[in-house]
Copies of this chain bind each other. A is one copy, B any other.
């Protein structure tokens, strides 16, 4: 195992933390050696402090690991963080200043100007911002790379093939989001039996700001925001996993529905070329049945790493509309961070 990078998972007992551990089992490049949780779990066996809730059994390799507290020192080179917003910023910066390569799923760092917010199929060139980050902060080997919010990722993955071929001026979006997005215990069952909630605090702002950053252009020392206007409405629906989004787009260049479908279907990008272990063969999967995508049937497409698009058709107001669905805790969270880390291995930033 000497040739694998040692990995620490921050927020290891939370739902995204558990996904990190599950997904990293048997990873060819990374090996989980340290699990970090709240200070009161420090020193205990992971099996004793974690209420494991992703469906498969807890990996044997994780059970016996002694959990570290947030203030304990970390030895691993690579850090995956799923710390709650508010707490993440300070801890992640400290670790990066100590030379760690930090891949964060937390919201704190996403919009920080010198932190790249990366989807490897969309804006891999933004990793160049790391040089600015290191210079700004006086870091040598350390770095912080963020991945977007779970709703943003699947939206932008679906936008990218259209964005690069036809340009997008306007995007009207309504989301129908799964409850796992807010962790455990999260959303009360009284809100989700025979009900839905038309509001998720802060989510709409995140989608709108993160999208313009991801689609933006790397200049010498910052990301210039993309010229796209979004209007979003987020709802929570009684689904465990899988965010669904209703999207209407005004394009810059005209395109037929068939051309849009072809753009989705033929979309391949750098992770596919590089053969990154977590790269889906097809980042965007197109369904042609009229009643797809659906959470239970489509969220696990391409091991949960794809965005699944359906009902692609003309919009009577804008140009094209469609539904997009994706797994919110795999491609939308832990899997996104892992793919970012894989990209940085190939780019030579991990060492």
Contacts and interface: CB of A to CB of B under 8 A. Distances in A.
Contacts of A184: 188, 190
A172 interface: yes
A194 interface: yes
Contact of A316 (B231, B293, B311): B231
Nearest to A172: B172
Contacts of A240: 190, 193-194, 296
A310 B198 contact: yes
Interface residues of A, number: 60
Interface string A277-305: 00000000000001111111100110000
A152 B291 CA distance: 21
A57 interface: yes
Interface in A308-351: 310-311, 315-318, 321, 323, 325
A321 B233 contact: yes
Contacts of A300: 55-56
Residue of A193, A293, A315 with highest tally of chain B CB at under 10 A: A193
B198 A189 contact: no
A48 to B, nearest CB: 12
Contact of A239 (B196, B317, B321): B196
A165 interface: no
Contacts of A229: 316-317
A49 interface: no
A23 to B, nearest CB: 17
B179 A176 contact: no
A186 interface: yes
A291 B196 contact: no
B198 A244 contact: yes
A239 B238 CA distance: 9
Nearest to A183: B190
A73 to B, nearest CB: 33
A26 interface: no
Contacts of A291: 197-199
B188 A237 contact: no
A244 B196 contact: yes
Contacts of A297: 53, 55, 195
Contact of A196 (B53, B55, B57, B294): B294
Given A231-B317, A238-B238, A190 B195 contact: no
Nearest to A310: B198
B316 A195 contact: no
A248 B196 contact: no
Residue of A176, A180, A186 with highest tally of chain B CB at under 10 A: A176
Contact of A189 (B56, B176, B187, B244): B187
A294 B179 contact: no
- Shortest 9 CB-CB distances between A and B: which pairs? A185-B188, A189-B192, A174-B174, A194-B194, A199-B291, A174-B246, A231-B317, A233-B246, A187-B189
Interface of A: 53, 55-57, 170, 172, 174, 176, 179-180, 184-199, 201, 208, 229-231, 233, 235, 237-241, 244, 246, 248, 290-297, 300-301, 310-311, 315-318, 321, 323, 325
